[in-house]
Structure 1
Amino acid sequence: MSKGWVEGIPYFVKFAGLLLASSASLYLGYLVADLVPRETVARSLANLQDIGKKPVLRAPVPKRQKCDHWSPCPPGSYAYRILSGVGREKPPKICFEDELLISREKGNAGRGINIAIVNYKTGKVTSTKHFDMWEGDHSREMMTFIKKAPEGSLLLMTTYYDGSVRLKNDTKKLVKELGSKEIWNMKFRSSWAFIAAKGFKLPDNIQKEKINHSDKKTNRYDGWPAEIQIEGCIPRNLI
């Protein structure tokens, strides 16, 4: 027997052992696969894949409130929101009980002072109109419109483009009698929003009026005042 053949025996034994071990492992793998249900294997693989995943926390979608309020109005009350126009291209919006009364979508927003009249008892709009205070003489027409509003009405008003140039003093006086504190302070292109009651009194703790004036130095609308809004909840048992 040659010396080289004797020395090669350990390597042959090692190779044979490795081959035997591989065959045994393969056999055991098939055996386990037959004994363990496929659903269990699939579930285990899925769990392994999920280990490296970070949980994703999703905030719940906020529930939409009437007129886009942040919080709901108490039961037995009306929701309102008045948003003034800004510049030449962004008309105002007047919303009452989640119904747009005046807006671009409704096609009834116009330059000047926009007014919506709502029946307080029913919560339904009775009329809407805008009065151009840039061209024409519409101040007296606006005064007539307000005077014809029935007792027990809510009047929601706001500006678009300009509401002051042709607004006459007698009309300002009438709006002041409805409770406005800013109508006499309105300037060229001021943004103004106001809600009033005719024939009854609104609660003192609700937002009724807001005004913003043009500022060419600091305003991002190139001299036009930024839009303003007022919103709140009106109890239904005032009259």
Structure 2
Amino acid sequence: MSNVKNNVGSGLNIVAVNGENGDVETFAYLNMQIGNPNEILAYLKNIDPGMIVLVASFDDVTAKMTDEMREVFVGMGSTLITSVKHRDNWVFAGRAGSDNKSLFEKQAANDQSTNVYGDWPEVVELSGCYPRTLTDGKVS
């Protein structure tokens, strides 16, 4: 995903990757300012179990964020989504339909006294190797 490919935008930038073969199944940016909350929730709920889900926030993602949307991310392994506030930066890699908590998640809180970019907190990045899903549904 990149601005060059015109497939990122304000809100939640999401990629769903097939956990078995690594193919990108879907990608989207969900506009959390003017998007329809019902459509956003439906998109999140339609991500198939076993998919590896990569998410990065851009701009404020809390305007249309509902508790039910947060619970979908908790169901993917997020432990920080419940604390994401106005203009926080948040990145996450998890697995749809997993009860396991993800180790791949970071948040930078929007705090005027510590913000690096005026009204914005520092950049957050993740790196590492995410385990794939085997055909029998187990993780390797």
Fold conserved between structures, TM > 0.5: yes
Per-residue deviation at 1:200? Answer: 4.9
SS at match of 1:116: strand
Change (3 A) 1:199 1:136: closer
State the TM-score, normalizing by the size of structure 1.
Answer: 0.52
Distance of 2:61 and 2:116 partners within structure 1? 20
The reply on whether 1:149 has 2:39 as its aligned counterpart is no
Match of 1:122 among 5, 21, 42: 21
Amino acid aligned to 2:27? T
Structure number, greater radius of gyration = 1
Amino acid aligned to 2:76? L
The reply on whether 1:184 has 2:108 as its aligned counterpart is no
User: Which residue is 1:231 aligned to?
Assistant: 127
Change (3 A) 1:168 1:121: same
Residues 25-174 of structure 1: matches in 2 within 5 Å?
Answer: 102-137=1-36, 139-174=37-72
> Which of structures 1 and 2 has the larger relative contact order (alpha carbons within 8 angstroms, sep 6+)?
2
Checking the alignment, whether the CA contact within 8 Å between 1:134 and 1:162 is kept in structure 2 is yes
Distance of 2:119 and 2:98 partners within structure 1? 38
CA displacement 1:185-218 (0-9 Å, x = unmatched) = 111101001111124566x7x7411111112223
CA displacement 1:56-105 (0-9 Å, x = unmatched) = xxxxxxxxxxxxxxxxxxxxxxxxxxxxxxxxxxxxxxxxxxxxxx2212
State the TM-score, normalizing by the size of structure 2.
Answer: 0.85
Amino acid aligned to 2:69? T
SS at match of 2:55: strand
Structure 2 unmatched ranges of 5 or more? none
Change (3 A) 1:140 1:208: farther
Distance of 1:200 and 1:218 partners within structure 2? 34
Distance of 2:22 and 2:58 partners within structure 1? 25
Per-residue deviation at 1:182? Answer: 1.0
Higher percent of residues as helix = 1
Distance of 2:30 and 2:77 partners within structure 1? 20
Q: Give the root-mean-square deviation of aligned CA atoms.
A: 2.0
User: Which residue is 2:118 aligned to?
Assistant: 222
Identity within the alignment, %? 28
Distance of 1:166 and 1:104 partners within structure 2? 23
Structure 1 unmatched ranges of 5 or more? 1-101
Per-residue deviation at 1:162? Answer: 1.0
Distance of 2:14 and 2:42 partners within structure 1? 12
The reply on whether 1:213 has 2:109 as its aligned counterpart is yes
SS at match of 1:234: coil
Amino acid aligned to 1:109? V
